[in-house]
Amino acid sequence: AKDYELRQYEPAKWVSTVIRGETQKEAMRQGFWKLFHYIQGKNEKEMKIDMTVPVTCLVKSGCTDFKISFFVPFEHQDCPPQPTDSDVFIEERKAAALFVRSFGGFASPEKYAEEADALARTLRNRGQPFHEDFFYTAGYDSPFKLFNRHNEVWYFKK
């Protein structure tokens, strides 16, 4: 469709942390730094790992817990080094079909929510079944990139 796409993702490992009881913006900041320290060598192998995209944030309706995640690079998918920070963990996400809406600019939590609402409305209008109680935000750019930024919101297909 012109305003969203349906993607199939294979199973993959992500390094994640959950930040509780903060605003989404503050959770993203804290979570990003915890994960950044992991890829900078705060792991059992003291291994530096390349930064990957996207950086995702799981947003659940009415919940102030946010799960922030970095994709584990392909060369480490089989055996990612274990985190040494007890708040950081490796998770394996199952294969999934995702409805994705892309947008540009600097994405705030409000902008992500607005885009997620627009995607949810479109999917309902088209009779597409999806899990409505949560969505993921996905950011692809460093904060220093000023132009042609790429952001997404994801809903899981039922």
Domain definitions of the chain by residue range: 5-156
Q: Which helix (H) or strand (E) segment is 154 a member of?
A: strand 151-156
What order of strands is seen across the sheet that includes strand 12-20?
5-9, 96-103, 151-156, 134-139, 55-60, 65-71, 12-20, 88-93
* pLDDT, tens digit (0-9, with 9 covering 90-100), for 104-126: 999 999 999 999 999 999 999 99
Q: Which of 3.40.50.150, 3.40.630.10, 3.20.80.10, 3.40.50.720 is the CATH number of 5-156?
A: 3.20.80.10
62: three-class secondary structure by DSSP: coil
**Per-residue model confidence as pLDDT tens digits over 60-101:** 999 999 999 999 999 999 999 999 999 999 999 999 999 999
Task: Say how far apart CA 17 and CA 87 lie, in whole Å.
Answer: 6
